[in-house]
Chain A
């Protein structure tokens, strides 16, 4: 009963929107997408996982029994203990409570994953928009630069930058540094997507119309074209968050991250020396990574199924 009423109101709103302005109808695109998304179980599961992680990241300081990077259990003589009621994920030889570290790690890794993606999206949108809209030499040049960024070995360069900047820049800036590095090196992914979309959109009639009305070039790019590329950008960005989290975990596992902040990678690294006797130290942060990345991947795939008009039957 309740569902039917809801469906009715939805129908009513779409009808109303269709009779009013075109701007309103743009909003119903997202409503259609949400309706399609709701039917996708995997996508919904992804959304729940992501929301769960976001919740943990935001509340970790209250949820976790120990503060980040505190070796308290060592002082209490409880280091190197297997999982128990007091320490659900065990403690490391150095005295870290793994459960707390995993919770705090969610904050650190989500900060890097989401933050780096935001930086990437901003740069990628700007560069992709310009590359897609400008014809001739300058557009080609930007495309060439983008391809160069695709060609060069990125992970080694990021590691090198992280190592050197960690020395040059004061401590405590660590995770933000990794965030900026991932953000600055990641933009080609977005800008390729944006450029492709723009090449398609700029031939559409509404763009010609606004040009005919005398809109300036920048207004056409950023007011009319870029908003229309947002759907693929959102999809790519969600998947990119997953990739950025994975890269951050590798970076801090290799010891190039911030040693003063809890991340999943650094906890795993802490565990490998005593892996023979303490399997729990590397296992739990890795599982946390796995499910976080899984969540973002599922969400991204779900969004892509729901929002991609080309896949609609």
Chain B
């Protein structure tokens, strides 16, 4: 147990340089595009020199870049990500987006695992059967498709032509779908969720199938079978345990990158999540927002990574942490 604590502490300490690296990189790149105040001015009709001066002072534009970074870092230690160039604090912009992103991503991941793992196992056990071929084809299409494009296709069919489902957003604005507010959210969730689930499912099916095929050839499976164990026990108790370890890694990485949202998918569905907001902020070169969102995503990614590693140690006794 003490080892585990040391391990976690070490990992967290290791996170600090990575975090600094990512934030410095984002900071330099986003500032390289030009004077942020000039960008604000584009949005305002006429600005008096005093206001401009005040803005310059507020965003520390006249000071060297490293000083600006240090100011930003100091504010971050006080849990303040500064103000967006649009005026509102970055935290109040980002805050509500995190749950919206997770509302889409977490169910998709869970569904993808719950559906993908059994399908993958089935496919591996019946290798080269007709069903296996159709499952592999189905999966192949899944990971060969741009996520956002599949979303657009579904919008065209189910929303624009059939009118069954809303075409975008996370909740109804002008019209509440299906009566209650809760049902409305569900109605908005169905399409992006099924697209995301399908795409992730495809990866899981492919992975599990491949791993399972390799594991089922191992000698210890032969041994288990020759001991007269039921096929069910062999597959689900002996083989699955080995075949599933890489899934944990993918799950961790997948969860991490899903926090960045699927910028394409979120844009296709106008889903007000982190990915969509990042695209908009980057497009308008809103430096504080860009840096803020990157930092939030990076931190969550790192936490996801640590949790993955801990989980790895739990299910695979060969992995010793620390």
- Please give the residue numbers on chain A whose beta carbons come within 8 Å of chain B beta carbons, in ascending order: 148, 150-157, 159-161, 163-164, 167-168, 242, 246, 249-250, 253-256, 265, 268, 272, 275-276, 279, 282-283, 286, 289-290, 293-294, 297-298
Contact = CB atoms under 8 A, between A and B. Distances in A.
A156 B26 CA distance: 10
B30 A160 contact: yes
B253 A164 contact: no
Given A156-B294, A254-B263, A297-B144, 14 more contacts: A153-B298, A155-B260, A156-B275, A156-B278, A156-B293, A159-B282, A249-B146, A250-B148, A275-B152, A275-B160, A279-B156, A282-B152, A289-B145, A293-B145
Helix, strand, loop or mixed for chain B's interface? helix
A286 B278 CA distance: 24
B214 to A, nearest CB: 9
Given A163-B33, A167-B33, A157 B26 contact: yes
Contacts of A297: 140, 143-144
Contact of B32 (A159, A168, A283): A168
Nearest to B297: A153
- Give the most central of B149, B268, B294: most A CB within 10 Å: B149
B298 A254 contact: no
A143 to B, nearest CB: 13
Contacts of A167: 33-34
A185 B32 CA distance: 19
22 contacts: A151-B18, A152-B18, A153-B260, A156-B275, A156-B282, A160-B29, A160-B282, A163-B283, A164-B29, A164-B285, A242-B144, A249-B149, A250-B146, A253-B149, A253-B264, A254-B263, A272-B152, A286-B145, A286-B146, A289-B146, A289-B149, A298-B140
B33 A152 contact: no
A244 to B, nearest CB: 12
A246 B21 CA distance: 27
B302 A290 contact: no
Given A160-B290, A164-B33, A250-B263, A148 B144 contact: no
A275 B155 contact: yes
